[in-house]
Amino acid sequence: MKSIRLLAGKERSLLRRHPWVFQGSVAKGRADAGETVRVEADDGKFLAWAAYSPESQIRLRAWSFDEHERIDAAFITRKVNAAVALRRRLGLPGEATSNGVRLVHGEADGLPGLVADRYGDLLSVQFLAVGTEKFKPQITDALLAATGCTRLYERSDSSMRGREGLPVVNGWLRGEGSTEVTVHEHGWQLKVDVAEGHKTGYYLDQRNNRALFAEWVQQLGCRSVLNCYSYTGGFSVAALKGGATEVISVDSSGAALARANEHVALNGFDAALHSTLDADVNTSLREYLKAGRRFDAIVLDPPKFAPTTAHAERAARAYKDLNRLALRLLNPGGLLFTFSCSGGINADLFHKIVAGAGMDAEVDGHILKRLEAAPDHPTTICFPEGEYLKGLVIVRR
């Protein structure tokens, strides 16, 4: 077993059970990609067992902080079983919730660099780090055994793979057949294509926020709804469920919008209640404003503008501008669901950005609720970096 020695003082984050060690913290030692290594402090004291990644800025990802642990197939199976068991305790998958579930959420489940989602009877998995790549057969077996599923699709086509020196992979790992599956979520159905869809196929993290949107649209009697960055129209279907009579889905992906139309039909709604706009959101909001259009409810769920804090400033300006436009487009009493999925922008900063947008728009509102990712995308006490999705429910005054 190879050892990697850290520079003096650089043991602190592992001692706090934070799972990452950056390149600049390593004093000496090398290993192969994905090899399990013993990480030790400057004085030789054991810190963690970790996967070594020779090409990544994140040089080490900790598997375990217990010196007696063996990082083998049994270890991987225990971690996968614990992750699946947690979801079961959360009622996922379940009739009342959904059969689209995040089963493994990387670091939060003690499996750094692994994302595994279940859509109905098939699994869609991203192996995002060399450590998970090395244990791919064991992870695959463990996921299939823990769920009883027989098909597993690999969606290792994230840009994170490149940073780990790994090639892009998109294809069946186990089983074969159609990559499309219909999942249910609360009271509606959605089609997911694990080969073509974003991420592993869908945005499961917004599941509970879509349900909440349906409730608030109904509670406040919203009629006209603008769903910005709609993707395949999850929030649009939720709006229709809540009784909206005019819903517009805006996205720059024509394929996603075609799916949004399919979802309206699939859930039994009249096609006349829904329209799509294949365009840039910011430009569209400006045009609506110029044309004097107003809406009873708006969703803003943009892509990640700031992956890290280094991009936060520019991203903050983009978020502020969007929120300013949306606040101005709301009818008095109207509802705004506004989100940021940028890891580089925390909940406090996001609130400040939206406050700035309100000042600029000269619009005030009541914050009814703060939102986050669904609980099958958990964060842990020791790894605050895992927190990414945050949102506000605002009612315009």
The footprint of ligand SAH (CB under 6 A) covers 203, 206, 229-231, 234-235, 251-253, 256, 280-281, 301, 303
Q: Is 57 helix (H, G, I), strand (E, B) or coil?
A: coil
Q: Which is nearer to ligand SAH, 135 or 305 (CB)?
A: 305
Question: Which residue reads 């159905």 in tokens?
Answer: 189
Q: Which is nearer to ligand SAH, 156 or 338 (CB)?
A: 338
Hey, what are 320's tokens?
């502020």
Give the distance from CA 340 to its chain's centroid: 11
Whole-angstrom Cα distance, residue 190 to residue 259?
9
- Told to judge if 382 belongs to the known catalytic residues of this protein, a careful annotator would answer no
377, 341 contact by CB (below 8 A): no
Amino acid at site 97: T
What's the closest the beta carbon of residue 231 comes to ligand SAH, in angstroms?
A: 3
Q: Which is nearer to ligand SAH, 101 or 281 (CB)?
A: 281
29, 37 contact by CB (below 8 A): yes
Cβ partners under 8 Å of residue 115, min gap 6: 102, 104, 105, 106, 125, 126, 128, 199, 200
Amino acid at site 197: G
Q: Which is nearer to ligand SAH, 18 or 199 (CB)?
A: 199
Q: Please identify which of the residues 222, 228, 341, 382 carries the catalytic annotation.
A: 341
Whole-angstrom Cα distance, residue 202 to residue 237?
15
- Determine which helix (DSSP H) or strand (DSSP E) holds 335, and give its type and residue range: strand 330-340
Whole-angstrom Cα distance, residue 232 to residue 266?
12
What's the closest the beta carbon of residue 338 comes to ligand SAH, in angstroms?
A: 12
Whole-angstrom Cα distance, residue 245 to residue 224?
6
DSSP letters for 263-292: HHHHTT--GGGEEEEES-HHHHHHHHHHTT
Whole-angstrom Cα distance, residue 148 to residue 222?
42
Hey, what are 311's tokens?
């991009």
What's the closest the beta carbon of residue 299 comes to ligand SAH, in angstroms?
A: 7
Whole-angstrom Cα distance, residue 32 to residue 54?
7
Please list the active-site residues: 341
